[in-house]
C-alpha cells in the first residue's frame, strides 16, 4: 500500500476529525462512568424520565447526573425530549451498555482506558527511556472491572476444539496459562465436575483472587498456582491447555509456547484465544476495535512484557505471527477458528502429535 493512501482523512477535513476525536474521548470516559455508577442499568428499567427521577432511582447526586445526561445526549447514547426534559435509553442501546448485556457489554469495556490512564506518566517515561510498567502498578484493573468484562461464556470457545466437551464431561486434566483472576477456569471447573483444572499466573494478587472465587463457588476440582509460564516444568501432564489473551503479554512467549507443547500429552490440544488481527498494519485499517487494542497494547501488554525485558509482542501481534510462533514451538497442526458472535477474537487450536 502507498504511504499516501494511509494518510487519507475523512471528508470534512482533519480539524473536524480531531474535534470529533475530543468529543468521542470524553464520551468514552463518561460511558465508563455510566457503567460503573450503574446509570445505564437504572435507565434501562425506566421510561423517559427527568434527571431528578433518574438520580433518585440510582441513588446518585442529581447535579452530576444531569451533566452526564447532557453529555450522553450529545454522544447520541440517550434520547432527549425538550418538552418535558426527559431522557431515555432505548432498549436496543441498553443491550450493549448494561451489566445484563454480559459479554456484549461495551459499557464495561469503556472503563478500561480510564483505568489504564493511571500508568500514563510511567508509559510516557518509557517512550523516552525504554523499559516497561510492572503488573503491580495497575491498581485500578481490579477484580470488578475484569469480572464484568470476563463474563464471556467459555462454552462457545471450547466448541472450536473437536470432541473436547465430551472429553471434559468424562474427565480430563486441564491447565490455564496466565489465568488472571480465574474467571474462565472457574467457569469451566463448574461446568465439568469430572475434570481437574489448574490455573497458573505470575501475579500473586490474581491467584489469590482466583482462589477466593473458586472457594465461594464451592469448587473442589480447581486449584491455582503462582508460576512464571516461561519456566513451566510440566511434561506430558495435560490433555488440554488454554490461554486466554495472555500469550502476547508474555516476556518470553516462545519459551511459554514450547513449554505448553512439552506439557501436553500426545494428542492433547492447546487452545489459544487472542485478538483477531493481522500482523500487517495495512490489513488492520478497518479493524472494528483496532485503535482501542493498539491503545491497550501500549498501556498494558507491551509495557508489561518490556518491564521483564521481554519481547513486547503486543495485543495486535496478529494471526500470521501467531501461526509462525506456534509452528516454531513444535505443534503438529494448528487451525485458526473464528466464532461469529466474537468479532474481535480468534481461537487457535494447536495439536500435539499422536504417538505412532
Ligand X SMILES: C[S@@+](CC[C@H](N)C(=O)[O-])C[C@H]1O[C@@H](n2cnc3c(N)ncnc32)[C@H](O)[C@@H]1O
Contact between 158 and ligand X per CB under 6 A:
no
**Is residue 179 at the binding interface for ligand X, with CB under 6 A as the rule?**
yes
d(CA 87, CA 161): 46
Q: Which range, of 22-30, 33-41, 93-101, 239-247, touches ligand X by CB under 6 A?
A: 239-247
C-beta closer to ligand X: residue 180 or 268: 180
Assess 253 for contact with ligand X (CB under 6 A).
Answer: no
40 binds ligand X (CB under 6 A): no
| Residue 250 interacting with ligand X (CB under 6 A) | yes
Kindly state whether residue 138 participates in binding ligand X, applying the rule CB under 6 A: no
**Under the criterion CB under 6 A, does residue 195 sit at the interface with ligand X?**
no
Question: Is residue 109 at the binding interface for ligand X, with CB under 6 A as the rule?
Answer: no
- What is the CB neighbour count within 10 angstroms for residue 243? 26
User: Could you tell me which residues are beta bridge partners of residue 87?
Assistant: 49, 80
Confirm if 205 and 236 have CB atoms less than 8 A apart. no
For residue 150, the SS3 value is: coil
Can residue 35 be called a binding residue for ligand X (CB under 6 A)? no
Query: What is d(CA 68, CA 27) in angstroms, rounded to the nearest whole number?
Result: 9
CB-wise, 195 or 250, nearer to ligand X?
Answer: 250
Decide: helix, strand or coil at residue 335.
Answer: strand
C-alpha cell at 135: 503488573
Interaction of residue 150 with ligand X, rule CB under 6 A: yes
| 268 touches ligand X (CB under 6 A) | no
Q: Which is nearer to ligand X, 34 or 304 (CB)?
A: 304
CA nearest neighbour of 27 among 145, 119, 107, 115:
107
HSE-up (13 A, CA, CB side) for residue 282: 8
d(Cα 284, Cα 275) in Å, to the nearest integer? 12
Give the Cα separation of 234 and 264 in Å (integer).
Answer: 8
**For ligand X, which is the closer residue by CB, 107 or 135?**
135
135 counts as binding ligand X under rule CB under 6 A: yes
Q: Find the part of the chain contacting ligand X (CB under 6 A) among 8-16, 99-107, 174-182, 208-216.
A: 174-182
Q: Which is nearer to ligand X, 78 or 315 (CB)?
A: 315
One of 34, 107, 132, 178 touching ligand X (CB under 6 A): 178
Residue 144: how many other CB atoms lie within 10 Å: 11
Residue 230 engages ligand X in binding (rule: CB under 6 A) = yes
Q: What span, in angstroms and rounded, lies between the C-alpha atoms of 323 and 355?
A: 23
Q: Is 261 in the site for ligand X (CB under 6 A)?
A: no
CB-closest chain residue to ligand X:
180
Residue 34 binds ligand X, judged by CB under 6 A? no
Task: Tell me how far the alpha carbon of residue 149 is from its chain's centroid.
Answer: 7
Does the footprint of ligand X cover residue 274 (CB under 6 A)? no
Beta strands in the chain (DSSP E): 79-81, 86-88, 173-177, 196-201, 222-226, 238-244, 264-275, 333-337, 345-351
Q: Judged by CB under 6 A, does residue 206 bind ligand X?
A: yes
Rounded Cα gap, residues 126 and 186, in angstroms: 36
Tell me whether residue 230 or residue 277 sits nearer to ligand X (CB atom): 230
CB of 48 to ligand X, least distance (A): 38
For binding to ligand X (CB under 6 A), which residues are involved?
135, 150, 178-180, 183-184, 200-203, 206, 228-230, 244-246, 249-251
Amino acid at each position: 500500500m502507498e504511504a499516501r493512501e494511509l494518510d487519507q482523512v475523512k471528508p470534512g477535513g482533519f480539524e473536524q476529525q480531531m474535534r470529533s476525536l475530543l468529543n468521542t474521548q470524553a464520551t468514552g470516559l463518561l460511558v465508563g462512568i455510566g457503567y460503573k455508577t450503574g446509570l445505564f442499568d437504572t435507565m434501562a428499567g425506566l421510561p423517559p424520565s427527568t434527571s431528578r427521577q433518574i438520580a433518585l432511582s440510582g441513588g446518585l447526586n442529581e447535579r452530576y447526573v444531569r451533566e452526564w445526561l447532557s453529555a450522553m445526549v450529545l454522544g447520541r447514547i440517550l434520547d432527549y425530549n425538550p418538552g418535558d426534559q426527559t431522557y431515555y435509553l432505548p432498549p436496543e442501546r441498553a443491550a450493549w451498555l448494561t451489566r445484563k448485556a454480559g459479554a456484549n457489554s461495551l459499557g464495561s469495556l469503556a472503563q478500561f482506558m480510564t483505568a489504564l490512564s493511571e500508568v500514563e506518566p510511567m508509559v510516557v517515561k518509557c517512550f523516552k527511556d525504554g523499559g516497561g510498567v510492572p503488573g503491580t502498578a495497575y491498581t485500578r484493573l481490579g477484580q470488578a472491572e475484569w469480572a464484568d468484562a470476563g463474563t464471556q461464556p467459555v462454552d462457545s470457545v471450547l466448541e472450536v476444539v473437536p470432541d473436547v466437551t465430551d472429553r471434559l464431561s468424562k474427565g480430563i486434566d486441564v491447565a490455564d496459562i496466565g489465568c488472571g483472576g480465574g474467571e474462565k477456569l472457574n467457569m469451566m471447573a463448574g461446568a465439568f465436575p469430572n475434570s481437574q483444572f489448574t490455573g497458573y499466573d505470575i501475579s500473586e494478587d490474581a491467584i489469590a483472587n482466583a482462589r477466593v472465587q473458586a472457594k465461594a463457588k464451592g469448587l473442589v476440582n480447581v486449584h491455582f498456582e503462582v508460576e512464571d509460564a516461561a519456566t513451566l516444568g510440566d511434561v506430558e501432564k495435560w490433555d488440554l491447555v488454554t490461554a486466554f489473551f495472555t500469550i502476547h503479554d508474555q516476556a518470553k512467549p516462545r519459551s511459554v509456547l514450547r513449554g505448553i507443547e512439552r506439557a501436553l500429552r500426545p494428542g492433547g490440544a492447546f487452545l489459544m484465544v487472542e485478538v483477531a488481527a493481522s500482523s500487517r498494519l495495512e490489513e488492520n485499517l478497518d479493524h472494528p476495535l483496532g485503535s482501542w487494542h493498539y491503545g491497550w497494547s501500549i498501556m498494558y501488554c507491551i509495557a508489561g512484557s518490556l518491564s521483564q525485558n521481554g519481547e513486547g509482542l503486543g495485543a495486535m501481534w496478529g494471526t500470521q505471527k501467531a501461526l509462525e510462533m506456534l509452528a516454531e514451538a513444535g505443534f503438529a497442526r494448528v487451525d485458526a477458528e473464528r466464532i461469529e458472535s466474537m468479532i474481535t477474537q480468534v481461537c487457535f487450536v494447536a495439536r500435539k502429535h499422536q504417538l505412532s
